[in-house]
Chains A and B, each alone.
Chain A
Amino acid sequence: MYHSSVRNNIGILEIIFSNESKKEEFIDITDTTQKIFHDIDVLMIRLCKTDDNLRMIKYGVIEEFIKFLDHYQLPTIAIIDGLCCGVALETALSADIRICSNDTTFRFSEDLFAESIAYQSKIRKLLGNKFSMWQIGCDSSLTAEKALHLNLVNHTYNKKNLEDQAFQFAQSLIKGRTRETILAVKQCLNYFKKYEQGTDFNILIEEETKQFLSLIQGAEL
């Protein structure tokens, strides 16, 4: 189940995860996002759940939506409140920025982290150099404070003001920016998400050059 709305060029997508969530539903969310949010500058995704125990939802159900988020052309912000695990966590990790309430807990799957190199690589890209502070095993459960310290989340707010603060944050990101520059920055970061930092460094540099040259001609300097 989901709700969508647009306010001041900010798309707001509220997804309610439940153990009855179906694959078709998430395909529908993907289609809706493309249709309804065609002229927004940033997408906010509010993650809600009917039950804390959501482990029954299989990854396959949300796989298409995760892929869509990973390559989305505009900045995405996940808003998290309470326990974040399973498919809700996967969705949050696919957004560019995470904002959470002070009492949020992130629960990672130790098995997935230990077995999947792609998953480790994804976490490394989200944490940057702070990945070296990540302790496998000990950090399978993270408080909001620790997640903030590790750069996994950008900001934490009081539960009461979470949505308002997140909205203000989204506004501050796009205020005074042209859609063209937002798209160019996001394109560079999508390459960063997609390619490996070591082996594909030159591909990332080339894309940055392309985007920079296209923007500088029309810039108001």
Chain B
Amino acid sequence: MIKKRVLFEMHENIGSLIINDPPANKMTNEFMLDFCEVMRNEVCRAKVKGILIYGNGRHYSSGADLRQLRTSIASHKISGNNGVEMIPILYQQIKTSFVYLRNLSIPVVSAISGLCYGSGLELAMCSHIRVSAENAMMCLPEITFGVLPGACGTVTMPMIVGLGKALELILKGEVLTGTEALGIGLVDVVTNKNECLEEAKEILKYFVENVKSYSKECVRDYLVNYRTFKKLKMAISVENEKQYV
């Protein structure tokens, strides 16, 4: 049986996009082909009200295999007579898929645990909400290999953390923990490493059930409401427990 490196599962109104190449969930060319196929044939056609992205196993994703990607780009590069170069299809498609997720008008939540490097972080940054484990590790290391983050990273990073922080993170290729990422606003919620996926599911469920006209520009307001909702829920359950005692 052929292994699928990306899975799309639907449960109730929520679709789960799973990076399925453990342990590192590396974004190889095979992964990219599977990712584009799943996006084209399943995600685009699915009637879901929210999408959850996570990695199978300990890590979200350790990013692209740059060496493989370079070989692929070199072999597919076509230079036109007028000096215009064709962009390799695979690279173009993966970028289009990332942009597609970013532009969706339904909530897209990433649950980040373990490593979230390079293209993995770029995928997470195309999500509308990032929930991270406190000990998750995030970075854009492309610069250390002499390239730049080429899957929307130079666009989404400054949109999320602002120009100055983005330039520092891209040029230094520094690793941030989940807690540090929360401090600069790179992620929206930080949890214990065992609760990350569950919290992301809960947030998405809350959004799907309670936010009537969703706009990704307003996610931070929705999150404030979610936190109030969660506190109230907890207070009610404590009150109920007291009654039983």
Contact = CB atoms under 8 A, between A and B. Distances in A.
Partners in one complex: yes
Contact of B87 (A130, A178, A193, A209): A209
Given A97-B168, A219-B70, A189 B148 contact: no
A201 interface: yes
A218 B92 CA distance: 20
Given A97-B164, A130-B185, A192-B163, A208 B146 contact: no
Contacts of B160: 128-129
Given A174-B171, A212-B147, A129 B163 contact: no
B244 interface: no
Nearest to B219: A129
Contacts of A201: 99, 155
Contacts of A173: 167-168, 171-172
B165 A181 contact: no
A184 interface: yes
B155 A188 contact: yes
Contacts of B10: none
A96 B167 contact: yes
Contacts of B99: 201, 205
Interface in A167-221: 172-174, 176-178, 180-182, 184-186, 188-189, 192-193, 197, 201, 204-205, 208-209, 211-213, 215-221
Contacts of B74: 217
A126 B163 contact: yes
B209 interface: no
Q: Main secondary structure on chain B at its contact with chain A? A: helix
A127 interface: yes
Contacts of B146: 178, 180-181, 215, 218-221
Q: How large is the interface on A (under 10, 10 to 19, 20 to 34, 35 or more residues)?
A: 35 or more
A217 B162 contact: no
A212 B150 contact: yes
Nearest to A209: B87
A205 B168 contact: no
Given A185-B170, A208-B154, A128 B148 contact: no
Nearest to A149: B183
Contacts of B165: 128, 151, 154
Contacts of B164: 96-98, 126, 151-154
A45 to B, nearest CB: 13
A135 interface: no
Interface string B126-165: 0000000000000000011111101011110011111111
Name, among B92, B144, B154, the residue most crowded by chain A CB atoms within 10 Å (CB to CB): B154
Contact of B158 (A174, A189, A213): A189
A23 B36 CA distance: 55
A132 interface: yes
A159 interface: no
B204 to A, nearest CB: 19
Contacts of A22: none
Given A173-B168, A185-B170, A189-B154, A216 B162 contact: no
Interface in A103-148: 125-130, 132
Given A96-B167, A173-B172, A130 B162 contact: yes
Given A185-B143, A216-B66, A217-B74, A128 B172 contact: no
20 contacts: A125-B163, A128-B160, A128-B165, A128-B166, A128-B185, A130-B162, A173-B167, A173-B172, A176-B144, A181-B148, A182-B171, A185-B170, A189-B158, A189-B167, A201-B155, A208-B150, A208-B152, A213-B87, A217-B73, A220-B145
The 9 A-B residue pairs with the shortest CB-CB distance in the complex, in nearest-first order: A212-B150, A128-B162, A219-B146, A188-B154, A151-B162, A97-B164, A204-B155, A221-B67, A128-B161
Given A154-B165, A215-B148, 7 more contacts: A75-B167, A96-B164, A126-B162, A130-B161, A132-B221, A208-B148, A217-B70
